[in-house]
């Protein structure tokens, strides 16, 4: 059982990822106290009839409609039903856990004003791995995803128990709970804020960082086979550009090709850009991911409900501001999409140089029987297709716009869709890198007369070959590609160099 993550101060992105991958989550006494205090303030607001959006008013364009105390519980329930408009395939287990963890983190700031038992029920479901079915499409911000979670709490949604869907009531019974009767504000808080985008962003970012290490390894493999420029990543030359990401990438490539020897006597003034510019491209991506990490952690440290609760029971405050707008997450995920798409595009260019007999100096398409066998010809087509899909997905979601709720919400951030498409691009990168590694391993075996791999690249080659044998047009190649992509996904840590 993974070690429990304790929610005391706001969670970090790394902690969200740990919970997403299966670690239990628990509230500290201080976090639980913050939740209780905020609810006490909401109760005073209700008693004193202090106007608060979604507490004793309608929502959206109905924000000026006063809701009497007898109807406030009904408003909370109605919000969940009317806002549950998500469509499409559900989020994965990891994604759903990440969203729930980010949502609980948001409540633990003590600014939402929901009752402790609401958070306790969310925690019970999360820790039992009984996860709401959350449709992945239909959001312009956060509402539809979060409403699917809220439905489960009142016994009206569906839950994934492993691969099986069960009614929410059954899931609640299994964790010793009964369907909640929501009170004022709780329905709105359950559909509000940026946890959907933020939870998904944590997953996308963590996987992008991990795959960038694999991209360095794959690039180093190709450099070892195709590169012929002397001192290409010399530390002194690399230090002339002010980028920590560049220097880190260059060091990783140097380590990968250590001990590799060339026997063909070819020396180039400059290698092609897809080899020579790896530190500049991958390094810029590393620097960009470091900036995105700061944005995500700032979001997790922020209260993003609307309205937010402040003051105390003597002088309660309601902040009906736009902190639930997720522009920061939208911008960050659009940036992540672009930089990951570029890493993938550069990988595809290296794949082409491996399979293309016009530049590789190797058998055409890495086939041992050129003509009879097509080798990796069409695998490169697959990489091109995924790179093209990435380009389409890289269009900024944060610029999509749209107008909803009778002009009341006339600026939309599309933060959750931005995170979702970033996840798709990251998944495509994993497949493209799998193709590159397969091609590089094949090329290594076809270039033994010209190149002797050093120990690091030999270890990487052997790791590939342990899972996937030499390709001789004797099986469907997509099986090899998906096997390799699955191994990359499952591998803990960096590539085995």
DSSP 258: T
497 domain-assigned: no
Identify whether residues 277 and 136 lie together within a single domain: no
Identify whether residues 131 and 248 lie together within a single domain: no
Closest CA to 481 of 492, 463, 467: 467
Q: 170-173: which pairs have CB atoms within 8 A and are 24 or more residues apart?
A: 171/125, 171/128, 171/130, 172/121, 172/125
Closest CA to 485 of 473, 470, 467, 472: 467
What value does the mean pLDDT take over residues 253-263?
Answer: 95
For residue 372, pLDDT over 90 is answered with no
> Mapping DSSP to helix (H, G, I), strand (E, B) and coil, where does residue 110 land?
coil
The count of structural domains within the chain is 2
- The CATH number of the domain holding residue 91 is 1.10.275.10
187 domain-assigned: yes
Identify whether residues 136 and 233 lie together within a single domain: no
Identify whether residues 32 and 86 lie together within a single domain: yes
Identify whether residues 143 and 227 lie together within a single domain: no
- The CATH number of the domain holding residue 419 is 1.20.200.10
Identify whether residues 176 and 208 lie together within a single domain: no
Report the distance separating Cα 303 and Cα 463, nearest Å.
45
Taking the CA of residue 190 as centre, how many other CA atoms within 13 Å lie in the half-sphere pointing to its CB?
Answer: 33
Closest CA to 342 of 425, 415, 440: 425
The CB density around residue 224, as the number of other CB atoms within 10 Å, is: 29
Which pLDDT score, from 0 to 100, does residue 450 have?
Answer: 92
Identify whether residues 74 and 22 lie together within a single domain: yes
495 domain-assigned: no
CB 199 within 8 A of CB 19: no
496 domain-assigned: no
252 domain-assigned: yes
User: At which of 162, 192, 222 does a domain end?
Assistant: 192
Domain of 429 in residue numbering reads as 201-490
Comparison of pLDDT for 28 and 78, the residue scoring more: 28
| Per-residue tokens: 115 | 């009752």
Which pLDDT score, from 0 to 100, does residue 497 have?
Answer: 86
Report the distance separating Cα 111 and Cα 318, nearest Å.
10
User: At which of 169, 192, 215 does a domain end?
Assistant: 192
**Residues contacting 437, CB < 8 A, separation 6+:** 217, 218, 221, 460, 464, 484, 488
List, for residues 395-428, the tens digit of each pLDDT value.
998 887 767 666 566 666 788 999 999 999 999 9
Q: Residue 494's pLDDT band (boundaries 50, 70, 90)?
A: confident
Q: Residue 270's pLDDT band (boundaries 50, 70, 90)?
A: very high
| Per-residue tokens: 497 | 């160099």
**Residues contacting 311, CB < 8 A, separation 6+:** 41, 317
Sign of CA dihedral 91, 96, 99, 100: positive
Closest CA to 292 of 427, 201, 194: 201
Which pLDDT score, from 0 to 100, does residue 141 have?
Answer: 63
The CB density around residue 244, as the number of other CB atoms within 10 Å, is: 11
Beta bridge partners of 66: 57
Identify whether residues 187 and 205 lie together within a single domain: no
Identify whether residues 73 and 206 lie together within a single domain: no
List, for residues 114-157, the tens digit of each pLDDT value.
999 999 999 999 999 999 999 988 777 678 899 999 999 999 99
Q: Residue 77's pLDDT band (boundaries 50, 70, 90)?
A: confident
């Amino acid at each position: 059982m993974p070690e429990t993550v304790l929610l005391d101060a706001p969670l970090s992105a790394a902690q969200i990822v740990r919970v997403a991958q299966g670690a239990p989550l628990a509230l500290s006494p201080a976090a639980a106290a913050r939740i209780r205090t905020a609810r006490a303030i909401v109760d005073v607001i209700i008693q004193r009839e202090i106007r608060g959006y979604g507490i004793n008013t309608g929502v959206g364009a109905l924000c000026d409609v006063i809701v009497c105390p007898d109807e406030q519980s009904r408003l909370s329930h109605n919000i969940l039903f009317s806002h549950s408009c998500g469509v499409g395939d559900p989020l994965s287990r990891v994604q759903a856990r990440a969203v729930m963890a980010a949502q609980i983190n948001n409540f633990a700031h003590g600014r939402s004003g929901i009752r402790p038992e609401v958070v306790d029920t969310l925690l019970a479901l999360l820790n039992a791995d009984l996860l709401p079915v959350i449709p992945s499409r239909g959001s312009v911000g956060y509402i539809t995803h979060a409403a699917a979670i809220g439905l489960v709490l009142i016994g009206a949604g569906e839950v994934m128990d492993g691969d099986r869907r069960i009614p929410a009531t059954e899931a609640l019974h299994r964790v010793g709970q009964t369907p909640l009767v929501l009170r004022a504000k709780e329905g709105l808080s359950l559909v509000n804020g940026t946890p959907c985008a933020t939870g998904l962003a944590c997953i996308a970012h963590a996987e992008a960082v991990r795959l960038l290490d694999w991209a360095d390894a794959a690039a180093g493999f190709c450099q070892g086979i195709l590169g012929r420029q002397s001192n290409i990543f010399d530390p002194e030359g690399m230090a002339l550009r002010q980028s920590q990401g560049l220097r880190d990438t260059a060091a990783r490539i140097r380590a990968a090709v250590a001990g590799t020897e060339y026997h063909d006597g070819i020396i180039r003034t400059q290698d092609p850009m897809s080899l020579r510019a790896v530190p500049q491209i991958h390094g810029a991506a590393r620097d960009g991911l470091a900036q995105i990490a700061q944005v995500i952690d700032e979001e997790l440290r922020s209260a993003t409900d609307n309205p937010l609760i402040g003051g105390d029971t003597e002088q309660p405050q309601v902040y009906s501001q736009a902190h639930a707008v997720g522009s920061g997450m939208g911008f960050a995920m659009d940036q992540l999409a672009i930089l990951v798409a570029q890493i993938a595009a550069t990988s595809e260019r290296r794949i082409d140089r491996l399979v293309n007999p016009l530049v590789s100096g190797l058998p055409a398409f890495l086939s041992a029987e050129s003509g009879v066998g097509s080798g990796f010809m069409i695998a490169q087509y697959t990489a091109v297709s995924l790179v093209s899909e990435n380009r389409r997905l890289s269009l900024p979601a944060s610029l999509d716009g749209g107008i909803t709720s009778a002009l009341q919400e006339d600026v939309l951030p599309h933060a959750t869709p931005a995170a979702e498409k970033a996840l798709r691009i990251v998944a495509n990168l994993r497949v493209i890198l799998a193709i590159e590694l397969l091609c590089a391993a094949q090329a290594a075996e076809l270039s033994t007369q010209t190149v002797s791999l050093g120990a690091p690249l030999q270890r990487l080659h052997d790791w590939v070959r342990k899972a996937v044998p030499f390709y001789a047009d004797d099986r469907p190649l997509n099986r090899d590609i998906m096997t390799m992509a699955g191994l990359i996904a499952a591998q803990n840590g960096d590539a085995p160099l």
